[in-house]
Amino acid sequence: QETHIGPADTNVLPKLQGFKIFSTKYNGRSRGVAILIRETVVWEYVWHHEDFHGRSLILTCKLHGQLYTFVNVYNPAKDKHLLDGLKIKLKHSPVLVIGGDFNTALEPELDRTATKKNAQHNALRKCVDRLRKRFELEDIWRTMNPQKREYTFCRGVRESRLDYFFMQENSVSLVQSCEIRQTEISDHDPVCLNLYSGGVYPPPEIDPNDRIKIKNHVESKNKKSGPNMARINLPKKDVSFDSKGRESGHGARGSGDAAGEPAHRESPKSVGPQTEDISTPFEKLAITEESVN
């Protein structure tokens, strides 16, 4: 997760038309993360926090009345303080989604091609483990692919899975898919997470692991909505969070202090009807919706 957008790059983000953008800046050579929300998505701003060192961004908002907290992280390779700082700043949310570049292989036997032990990976892995234990977080891609070997970072002959999406155990049933995609313009590949939106989350009487009943429940709500009402969709890409953009690079890495103080912003207005998918040119979390045709 590095957008490589610094204070001098004021002309870059305005070119991304059609999105509400939350971003951090550090310098034009390293760090920086962003969360993008397509302007046609129905949402309500609640709170956000920007790390002044360009390493993390927290956004709490409502989608279809469901409260979400999205966290975008770039953990520099030698930074052992960032994730411990996040533990303090994260607020309770029914749905917590944390994504980003954590610069460590969580399961070295499966997540790295190199066999030699890496002290740097070991140190950062302990930081990630503490965060996961604190919030009972699941590694979503690994949960869906228990023994698969696939990587998000390549440099020479070395390959590693360093980019992750984490969600709490009680929200895993919201996951529709999580996959690693390919790119030729970065040494990190994108990871794409698709969720069922809060508007289609099954009622208590439906087993959250019974996908057939969930599908029938959603289709029933769609039929009742009528042609002139906002539709509740069970989409191929209902709510999407893309951990990687099309212009990116591994960039410089460095250590830093714990996350900075909260940045206060005027609350954006909720916008537009629910629609569409995403495609934007930065390493980010992007929130979008797409109807089933």
> Domain residues of the chain, as ranges?
13-287
Q: Are 268 and 20 in contact (CB under 8 A)?
A: yes
- Identify the pLDDT of residue 24: 87
DSSP 267: P
> Does residue 126 carry a pLDDT above 60?
yes
The catalytic site residues sit at 74, 101, 188
CATH class of 13-287: alpha beta
In the predicted model, what is the mean pLDDT of residues 90-99? 89
List, for residues 100-112, the tens digit of each pLDDT value. Answer: 999 999 999 999 9
Average pLDDT for the chain: 74
Does residue 188 have a known ligand-binding role? Answer: yes
| In the block, residue with structure tokens 């460095």 | 254
75 is in an annotated binding site: no
Cα-Cα end-to-end distance for the chain: 32
Residue 101 annotated as binding site: yes
Q: How confident is the model at residue 133 (pLDDT cuts 50, 70, 90)?
A: very high
Distance of CA 42 to the CA centre of its chain: 18
- Residue 288: C-alpha distances to residues 66, 205, 270 (Å): 15, 28, 14
Whole-number pLDDT of residue 93: 81
242 assigned ligand-binding residue: no
Pairwise pLDDT comparison (138 vs 269), residue with the higher score: 138
pLDDT digits (tens, 9 = 90+) for 145-171: 999 999 999 888 889 999 999 999 999
Residue 216 is labelled as binding a ligand? no
Nearest CA-CA partner of 151 in 117, 214, 195, 101: 101
Say what the pLDDT of residue 280 is: 30
- Residue 266 phi, psi dihedral angles, 5° rounding: -65, 140
At residue 193, the pLDDT reads 96
Q: What is the pLDDT of residues 164-211, one digit of tens each?
A: 999 999 999 899 999 999 887 777 899 999 998 755 555 666 665 665
Q: Give how far Cα 177 sits from Cα of 180, 192, 202, 203, 280, Å.
A: 10, 8, 17, 21, 20
The pLDDT value given to residue 246: 36
The pTM of the full predicted model, rounded to 2 decimals, is 0.69
Per-residue pLDDT reduced to its tens digit, 9-58: 767 777 778 889 898 877 756 788 999 999 888 899 999 999 888 899 99
Look at residue 241 in the predicted model and tell me its pLDDT: 53
Q: What is the pLDDT of residue 240?
A: 53
Average pLDDT on 227-232 reads: 31
* pLDDT greater at residue 184 or residue 125: 125
